[in-house]
Copies of this chain bind each other. A is one copy, B any other.
Amino acid sequence: MADKASEAFKEFREYSVAEFFRKNRQMLGYSGAIKSLTTAVHEYVTNALDACEVAGILPDVYVELRKKGEGYLLIVQDNGPGIPKEYVGKVFGTMLAGTKFHVFKQQRGQQGIGATGVVMFSQVTTGKPTRIITSTGNGMIYEALISIDIKHNRANVEDAKEYPGQMRGTRIETELKGVLYQRGERSPDEYLRRTALANPHARITWKNPDGVVTVWDRALNVLPKIPKETKPHPKGIETDDLMYFAAHTKARTIKAFLMNDFSRISAKKAKELETLSGVDFQKKPSAMTWDEAERIVKAIKKVKFIAPPTDCLIPIGEKELEKAVKNVLKPEYYKIITRPPALYRGGVPFIVEAAIAYGGGLETESQKSNGNDISIKIMRFANRVPLLFDAGGCAITKAVNSIDWKRYGVTPQTPVTVIVNFTSIHVPYTGAGKEAIAEEEEVMKEIRLALQDAGRRVSAYLSGKRRKAEMEKKKRTLEVYAIPVAQSIAAVTGADYEDLLNRLKRIVESRYHEITEEPEPEEPVPEEELEEDADAEDV
């Protein structure tokens, strides 16, 4: 039997995380030819926007897709800060390498996988490396071909060269096969259009395989504030997290650790926690045992804390969203709703912004909601990143579908688009693919409140519109009848036809004088005209 065990174990091996993701690329979003293409575009564009914003640069992002052989060449270029040459391999050729892993900050990317994921996908579908051309603006341009040594999860850097040149930013050229470019909801076109909508400070240029260039120009010339790195709020912390932070803190005592590394823990609260937990807060944080950490976490549950600061959250902003909506959607009517900051899971701050747009440049799109066809188009965003996939699994979609839109006058023929952006330092995605937001209770509540508010506004507009339309109709009807009436009265009384017609029209006008959103009380008809009418015979 000992032989059998050894027998089984002779095949035992260890695998790199790159091998793991090569086998499981659907976990990174590369499943299906259409989705894989949009995923690749998404990864590079979000990196470009993040890099520019961190460096305080108004982003110019250029995206091109060119047919090449049986596949495509994807080019993404930005005007960002560039990448120092010693990091190029790590950024593009190593899985789980990045700056964002353990940061408490509102950000688009989270895992140190995205950029390398595209290189991996390109490599396994075409066998080719990805070309990187980058400069930090120091007069020298660095260029290299990057691929991944999958077995060891490290970059292969080939053909590296440096040469003088004036450039600042990064240009990526990567070939892709097994992808499909198809216009529609899940295409790069739609992804970039929505990215422009959520990032009015960015200028996005898109050249499609037919050579057609679309430019979404900046609607603002001001960068959004950079989301500040924030401290975790005690209410969100589990024992394992506390142990991890304690192992990495600069503080010398547990008391200082808690007060400095977390938000809202004052000296007074720290004392409360010390008493409740029975732990000696003068100890070094690294000496804290699991049991002690657990006692502190339990004490935290019993203490009240002020809600976390929410200045770490930078939503798109009301004015900015307004400009973007006008620019991109060109609707007849729109309204922006921004909810106040809220918390989910007791300690994670978030903000919901919603926009509702009606008519004008919008097209209808059929969508099943509550078993009825409601033509509401939903655009979902998390931290300004468009979510194009797994709509059915997303809290935003579920919230929109939970609203009884008929009450707000939205019928299957009403062309309405609802935009929801969810901003947080930690987006509760349902899965690794980051496609859909989980149905956290407080999140659903805030989205619904925003939608109901939006619903009421559009309802008022639509009723005003309907009333106005009705009144216009009545007016035109009366005007149509005014002619024969005037003719008859003229024929009978010999009065002047033109004069009668004008008077009749004025009467109609005065009853439906100014068609505005608020119906105004009817102006009384001038006495003189009434008397004259009274004299005329009934016709």
Give me the interface of A with B, judged by CB distance under 8 Å.
1-2, 4-6, 8-9, 11-17, 19-20, 22-24, 26-27, 51, 54-56, 81-84, 87, 90, 94, 96-99, 101, 103, 111-112, 123-128, 136-138, 168, 238-240, 243, 289-291, 293-294, 431-432
Copies of this chain: 2
**CB atoms of B84 and A5 under 8 A apart:** yes
**CB atoms of B81 and A4 under 8 A apart:** yes
Contact flag A2-B137 (CB < 8 Å), given A87-B9, A290-B127? yes
Residue contacts A-B, CB under 8 angstroms, 14 given: A1-B168, A2-B136, A4-B56, A5-B82, A9-B99, A12-B97, A13-B97, A15-B97, A20-B96, A20-B111, A24-B432, A27-B27, A127-B239, A431-B431
The closest CB in chain B to the CB of A80 belongs to B5
At the interface, is chain A mostly helix, strand, loop or mixed?
Answer: mixed
In the docked arrangement, what's the CA distance between A101 and B123, Å?
20
* Additional A-B contact list (5), CB under 8 Å, known A13-B98, A22-B240: A13-B99, A14-B96, A17-B17, A27-B27, A127-B293
In the docked arrangement, what's the CA distance between A137 and B6, Å?
12
Chain B residues with CB under 8 A of A290: 126-128
**CB atoms of A83 and B5 under 8 A apart:** yes
Chain B residues with CB under 8 A of A294: 127
In the docked arrangement, what's the CA distance between A240 and B123, Å?
8
In the docked arrangement, what's the CA distance between A22 and B241, Å?
10
**CB atoms of A11 and B127 under 8 A apart:** no
CB distance from A502 to the nearest CB of B (A): 62
**CB atoms of A98 and B27 under 8 A apart:** no
**CB atoms of A8 and B97 under 8 A apart:** no
Of the candidates B17, B23, B82, B239, which one forms a contact with A20 in the assembled complex, judged by CB atoms under 8 Å apart?
B17
The closest CB in chain B to the CB of A140 belongs to B2
Chain B residues with CB under 8 A of A97: 12-15
**CB atoms of A5 and B101 under 8 A apart:** no
CB distance from A369 to the nearest CB of B (A): 16
Of the candidates B8, B238, B240, which one forms a contact with A54 in the assembled complex, judged by CB atoms under 8 Å apart?
B8
In the docked arrangement, what's the CA distance between A168 and B3, Å?
13
Chain B residues with CB under 8 A of A11: 99, 103
Of the candidates B2, B23, B56, B96, which one forms a contact with A101 in the assembled complex, judged by CB atoms under 8 Å apart?
B23
Chain B residues with CB under 8 A of A82: 1-2, 5
Chain B residues with CB under 8 A of A239: 125, 127
**CB atoms of B15 and A96 under 8 A apart:** yes
**CB atoms of A112 and B55 under 8 A apart:** no
**CB atoms of B99 and A5 under 8 A apart:** no
CB distance from A91 to the nearest CB of B (A): 8
Chain B residues with CB under 8 A of A123: 240
Chain B residues with CB under 8 A of A20: 17, 96, 111
Of the candidates B22, B51, B87, which one forms a contact with A12 in the assembled complex, judged by CB atoms under 8 Å apart?
B87
